[in-house]
Structure 1
């Protein structure tokens, strides 16, 4: 089958699936956008601890302790919990010898990662000692640490039954009443196992005739003291969370990997004959975290956090789930109640009669006492005081039926949060009581690229308050701990440990900004946004977590005002970049709303500003930019615009004329603030005019662009899947788009999908643009020269031709462009010694692209250039975060 035929079949298949709504539907209502984005350079109050070692994977923080214990590769640290960057850190070096490293190499292990002593376990053993275990170059060892002296108090002991061999093997462990419970794949070729190691009796899971764990990858464990206030004399239980290969095969849905929770009783001592030295209380059930209406099933459990309630029955489990496909990034957060888990363990069992993978619900008689139950008062009344007295028929049934049929559903039967293009790795939960008396759940979630998301649970869904870039270079978050006493969150990573405040209230600069955040930690005190935990008098504080819109109606805030002057016939760009990703722009002229979608209005509204095309005298007035968030309109910035009628518009250029020839003869538009003297800004080169840009042809070009761009999106999607079949796809009449080289100022933006946009015409477009973050954190803030900061813009359109060749060689050279200096990518300087900068507002504004001829701004950030691919990527990301105007947008090309 030829390339063209293959593409036609794929395109038809894609259209059929899209029409059917499967599986390309996405739960947009749960795909929440973080309200505030803070880059690494904009972090406030961040403390860091780093040393010569790596892999800070284990942390221990006790509620009443001033110490944070950290286990890394070959070393254990004791840090000051109030300030981890202080120089008072104590160190225990626990490296492997050269002989042990050589033995590790002989086993075929990696000398760069595996043949070291990675600390995998670090917990308190008693009031005087800690207990730690390390991989020790694929020969695990464990040791006691004297807390007072902070030294290893005795010779390390064998740890192969307590600690995994490798640094990345799934593992979880607890010390409960000086007994160690652990779950992992311990030995090199052993099966996964849940064990109680010491002191005796030691217990483990069964592997024959029915294997209880099937390639399990453990992520967490928790003790729930269900014996407290129990009316039945129940036992405490230990819950283990993991992902394993599926044993159920159903017609409705099947998957190779599923998320599980398993349970054992703390007082379990094993059976007398049957299940000797094996758990007699082991049961497991499936955790469901899915969007069934969209057929999204999150099978991979990555992290679990247990939130104790006022009673054991109020215990909640929060889990981070991912998709089974490694090349698809997506995450979901689901919450489960202990009551739902207990109901599943009281439900029907699954059975496997043919020793294959076809498990189905057991419909036969269930032995008495019920298999998997703990010892209760009712059993003690029958003479069964511990597990060794349980009857053999009951234990034999449990041996063959460890899996429960009932699936454990999350609260509200759907996730609290769904995030595309995000891979969450760790989770920590903090309970905060707000001013309205309610207790809110605040979640901190780390990603595989080193970002920390803070969210609050409101009415069964999560509102993402902010996202923080923790590192300049992407790296995963390995561990998260929260200290309510220190009001800090601690982050472990491959390169070090970070300490951040639980709140970031000072980032919000006015009342509505503080209220819009919906952060339970923050409230407005009349002058600034403050942490409520630091306020003794809370009677005058303003906070609205439920709606994020009330309380600031009578609070005034200063609105920055600027003045702009422009000659008749010129284009004018009024910048207004909103700091909130959830806000949409709204512009007014002398109090009346500006309509930016009418083709003949001469105005275009975009996500970052307002563009006045060929300004006329009647367009003078006071333009005010408002941010609309949570149905509240808040003024952000005002421009007093004057269109000068005394300067005539420039005559159109002849085809043979060069734009820069006319630049020295043109007076420049001016801009100044209301409190400053007007300062003449630099002038950007003019662009040749084209009949193609006449209003008569705009509508036809716009429709053509939309049609071709839509087709290209479909084609590009299928090409990603079948790139092995076709490496080049020829089409007629494309735009040839080339981006001037530029530097991207931020180390990372949101995770983006790279796309290319083309359309049929006989033109070549060259776009130059820049961006600055509204919070002043990208590039470390604005750079000023002589007290002013200038922005400008340029889009050059020159005659050209689209290329349709499928040759793998380099494309033929494009027609010559107006000359620019060699250092353009670094400083964006232009001919005649004039410097112009380009604001971030040169994006696709309200669905259109624009030609910005001349403009300057005295209070915006310094110039930074962008390539066209980066600019297009930012357009697509911004459009996802912004609600466009209600009417169809028109082309201005």
Structure 2
């Protein structure tokens, strides 16, 4: 690679990555961490069914429709643990066989994974599945409490992915399906395609198969924008995705985040770009995380619009993760719809330019832009120029857009920096809701899913504040889908193993006024009469709430904490626990009202080394306090109180009991040892491993064959060839010698050694 081109990459990337470092948001820490056993969630799953990743809210039917592997479920929207009905959709044996012969795994890949669920205008649903790498689609009805898959079956190529683990995106607008997926078995032909329903004979409209259009993309999401003026047909569909950058020359593939746009009224060109998009444009999305030298990669997006405002005031929120394996930081960036629209309608284009006849470098196009503007929808201006449809566009405009679909400038986020950065589990999904607090102001609350099965709840005010993180799945599972029902006020979360329903707030987790107010949750407030944290939507009382964390209006720190009694024995260690109500709080320990230096966070250890005659011990009153700061001040709350005493009588009794038990245990051990020794010796005698008093006759009969041979070969030799000493041999080694002519019982030394070691082994 040319060194100048390599330097140009860093020249483009580094300024973007290092901008706004000084005033960038710090890593946000969730104020509260909620384990899975305390999340108050409702759960649905069925044995042998996996991949609950497609979800459709049918609020008109009070249903949550869930697409999984080989099945579609209709769940009660109020309580998803109640299954209303379900229908199976399995791949045929022939399709499974073909899939296996093509090298795919029969147990994981050659199944029918439901990936697309959309509502149609007549109330029916459109369902697509991978179908053992042979994608297919069907209509589905819900009548009299039953789901029914209808025939005929549609070809799903270009609508649904072949690979169940490949990312895709789709949206249905007036029964027209816009889909972004792969067209072939290998996944090497990515497309953004319109499958018309009203006029199917016109055929689909799709992208050109060129790397300058789509280059190894990962599709994320799609959104429709009704941004046309009255009487015009220039509504648009936006596609968010990531792909390999064509504009950077790099040592390896470099990923970039994109947003693309097509016009709903696009019919393709007449001669150039026949049945292809004439309005396809794409631009880079920048989410400059401080300290990162590589672009961050988009994972999900959510369109938020205020119905009372113009469509240009809509905002897209998107989650991003690092493409560097050394970074664990995720981010959320927001983009004004007006900035995105302006880039496509007024921005400059990039164009490929050869360098030294060997390289293609993308540079800013500085030539004349043809009219009508390439990529523009057929608006009022085009209509006045006798261009009624895209079929009337001149070839010059179409050739330009075919070669140069990439915009020159990246779209910057609101404020030029991420709204939120967080180190830890990678962000996956996001939804954003607007909540009106008690002060009359409206606040944005983000619900962010992670790849570790956690749901983060963050407040977007003057600064980002993560209210809590809730563990939804155990073991941790990647969150693949998030839905919010405005009718039920509930959040629905899909993963590979199950579906979870959880309310957007659980105010009862805050036990004190300080804890309730410092959580800065617009859903919750402190009821002074009931003395508990409650949902503001379900209470008629006057509540205390402050989005800046001003808890000065709280009447006190909360209910009186009754002390817990603990006793410590002399010479022992006692640990006092103190569960922190907040990850942002600092714990302080006090003894008899006096702060203890170096207060530990994980519990206070008390070592008592006093004796009965020493009154200077560690007994007394201990208090653990939580100290938490906000912009409005510092607040102190008593978490737990302890009364610690010295247990002398119990200790003496215990020591006496232990002493008596020790002597008794020693006696028992000695008796058991003696019995074991006797039994072992008896066993050895029975097995004849130890002989009885020496039987000379038997021993002679058991002499080695070599000795008997010598005697027979030299019978005339006197018996003076006896052993030079009076030892007796049994074959196990030398015996104990005679004493004063008296021969003792024969206990071979080797056998005695063996017994000794066996007894020693048995004991120890």
* TM-score above 0.5, yes or no: yes
1:264 maps to 262
Q: 1:57 Cα shift?
A: 1.5
The partner residue of 1:530 within 527, 534, 546 is: 534
Q: Deviations over 1:704-724 (max 9, x none)?
A: xxxxxxxxxxxxxxxxxxxxx
Compared CA separation, residues 371 and 254, structure 1 to 2 (3 A): farther
Q: Residues 463-862 of structure 1: matches in 2 within 5 Å?
A: 463-526=465-528, 527-535=531-539, 537-538=540-541, 540-547=542-549, 549-554=551-556, 556-563=558-565, 573-594=575-596, 596-597=597-598, 605-609=600-604, 611=606, 617=616, 621-630=620-629, 631-641=634-644, 664=658
> Structure 1 unaligned runs (5+)?
1-20, 598-603, 651-659, 667-893
Q: Greater Rg, structure 1 or structure 2?
A: 2
Question: Retained in 1: the 8 A contact 2:573–2:608?
Answer: yes
Indicate the SS of the match to 1:396. helix
Measure, in 2, the Cα distance between the counterparts of 1:28 and 1:419: 12
- Tell me: CA distance 1:165–1:642, structure 2 relative to 1, closer, same or farther (3 Å): closer
Q: Displacement of 1:572 after TM fit? A: 5.3
Moved over 6 A (4+): 25-28, 567-570, 660-663
Question: What is the CA deviation profile of residues 704-762 of structure 1, one whole-angstrom value per residue up to 9, with x for unaligned ones?
Answer: xxxxxxxxxxxxxxxxxxxxxxxxxxxxxxxxxxxxxxxxxxxxxxxxxxxxxxxxxxx
Choose from 408, 411, 422 the match for 1:405.
Answer: 408
Which of residues 150, 155, 165 in structure 1 aligns to 2:152? Answer: 155
Please state how far the C-alpha of 1:391 moved relative to its aligned partner. Answer: 2.0
CA displacement, residues 369-419 of structure 1 (integer Å, 9 cap, x when unaligned): 221111221222222222122222122111111101111111222222222
In 2: Cα distance, 1:255 partner to 1:414 partner:
25
CA distance in 2, matches of 1:77, 1:129: 15
Cα drift, residue 446 of structure 1: 2.0
Q: Do the aligned partners of residues 349 and 254 (structure 1) sit closer, same or farther apart at CA in structure 2, a change above 3 Å counting?
A: farther
Match of 2:75 in 1: 79
Tell me which residue corresponds to 1:380. Answer: 383
Moved more, 178-187 or 304-313: 304-313
Structure 2: where are the runs of 5+ without partners?
Answer: 1-16, 661-764
8 Å CA contact 1:444, 1:455 repeated in 2: yes
Point out the more displaced range, 45-54 or 307-316. 45-54
In the alignment, which of 163, 188, 193 is matched to residue 185 of structure 2? Answer: 188
CA distance in 2 between counterparts of 1:362 and 1:613 reads: 80
Is the partner of 1:372 in helix, strand or coil? coil
- Given that 2:129 and 2:135 are in contact with CA atoms closer than 8 Å, whether structure 1 keeps it comes out as yes
Q: 1:556 to 1:349 in 2, by over 3 A?
A: same
The 3-state SS of whatever aligns with 1:154 is: strand
1:344-355 correspondence to structure 2 within 5 Å = 344-345=343-344, 346-354=346-354
Q: CA deviation at 1:528?
A: 1.4
**Does 2:410 match 1:414?**
no
CA distance in 2, matches of 1:90, 1:32: 42
Q: Please list, as runs of the form range in 1=range in 2, the aligned pairs for 1:125-204 lying within 5 A after superposition.
A: 125-148=120-143, 150-189=147-186, 190-198=188-196, 199=200, 200-204=202-206
Q: Secondary structure at the match of 1:353?
A: strand
Q: 1:38-57 counterparts in 2 under 5 A?
A: 38-57=34-53
In the alignment, is the contact (CA less than 8 A) between 1:232 and 1:376 conserved in 2?
Answer: no
Q: Distance in 2 between matches of 1:212 and 1:483?
A: 36
CA shift for structure 1 position 255: 6.5
* Number of equivalences: 618
How much does 1:570 deviate?
Answer: 6.9
**Partners of 2:95 and 2:352 in 1: CA distance:** 45
Aligned partner of 1:368 in structure 2 is 371
The corresponding residue for 1:103 is 98
The whole-number CA distance in structure 2 between the counterparts of 1:245 and 1:572 is 59
2: CA distance between counterparts of 1:295 and 1:351?
27
Q: Deviations over 1:159-209 (max 9, x none)?
A: 11311111011211111112111111121244211111223352111235x
| Distance (whole Å) between structure 1 residues aligned to residue 44 and residue 416 of structure 2 | 40
Q: CA offset at residue 344 of structure 1?
A: 2.2
Contact residue 125 and residue 131 of structure 1 kept, 8 A: yes
What residue in structure 1 maps to residue 86 of structure 2? 91
Deviation at 1:126, TM superposition (A): 1.8
Q: 1:560 offset after TM fit, Å?
A: 2.8
Instruction: Name the structure 1 match of 2:664.
Output: none
Tell whether the 8 Å contact from 1:271 to 1:387 is kept in structure 2 after alignment.
Answer: yes
CA contact (8 A) 1:183 1:193 kept: yes
1:394 aligns with 397
Corresponding residue number in structure 1 for 2:273: 275
Q: TM-score, normalised by structure 2?
A: 0.75
Aligned partner of residue 476 in structure 1, secondary structure: coil
2: CA distance, partners of 1:571 / 1:498: 43
CA RMSD of aligned residues (A): 3.2
SS at structure 2 position matched to 1:581: coil
Provide the residue aligned with 1:891 in structure 2.
none
Partner residue, 2:286: 288
Equivalent pair of 1:577/1:609 in contact (CA under 8 Å):
no
Is 1:119 the equivalent of 2:117? no
- Equivalent residue number for residue 336 of structure 2: 337
Counterpart for residue 455 of structure 2:
452
- Deviations, residues 453-499 of structure 1 (Å, cap 9, x unaligned): 222222242x2222222222222222111112212111111122111
Q: Distance in 1 between matches of 2:601 and 2:506?
A: 29
- For residues 255 and 420 of structure 1, do their structure 2 counterparts lie closer, same or farther at Cα, with a shift above 3 Å needed? farther
SS in 1 for 2:206: coil
1:231 to 1:250, Cα distance in 2 relative to 1, 3 A: farther
Q: Is the 8 A contact 2:35 2:470 kept in 1?
A: yes
Which of 300, 305, 320 is equivalent to 1:303?
Answer: 300
Deviation at residue 142 of structure 1 after TM alignment: 0.8
How far residue 618 of structure 1 moved from its aligned partner, in angstroms, is: 8.5
**Are the counterparts in 1 of residues 573 and 605 from structure 2 also a CA contact under 8 Å?**
no
> Would the alpha carbon gap of residues 71 and 565 (structure 1) be closer, same or farther in structure 2, given more than 3 Å must change?
closer
- Alpha-carbon spacing, 1:665–1:336, altered in 2? closer, same or farther (3 Å): farther
- Counterparts of 1:469 and 1:171, CA distance in 2: 27
With 45-54 and 357-366 compared, the bigger mean Cα shift is at 45-54
Looking at structure 2, the residues matched to 77 and 37 of structure 1 have their Cα atoms a distance apart, in angstroms, of: 31
> In 2, distance between residues paired with 1:559 and 1:425?
41
CA distance in 1, matches of 2:299, 2:90: 29
Within a 5 Å distance, the mapping from 1:856-871 to structure 2 comes to: none
> Whole-Å Cα distance in 2 between the matches of residues 413 and 64 of structure 1?
40
Q: Is the 8 A contact 1:232 1:378 kept in 2?
A: no
SS of equivalent to 2:205: coil
Q: Deviations over 1:683-703 (max 9, x none)?
A: xxxxxxxxxxxxxxxxxxxxx
Residues 356 and 233 (structure 1 numbering): CA distance in 2 closer, same or farther, change over 3 Å? Answer: farther
Q: Normalized per residue, which structure has more helix?
A: 2
Deviations 1:261-297 (A, max 9, x none): 00011111112222221111111011111224x2354
CA contact under 8 A between 2:294 and 2:324: conserved in structure 1? no
> What residue in structure 2 maps to residue 246 of structure 1?
245
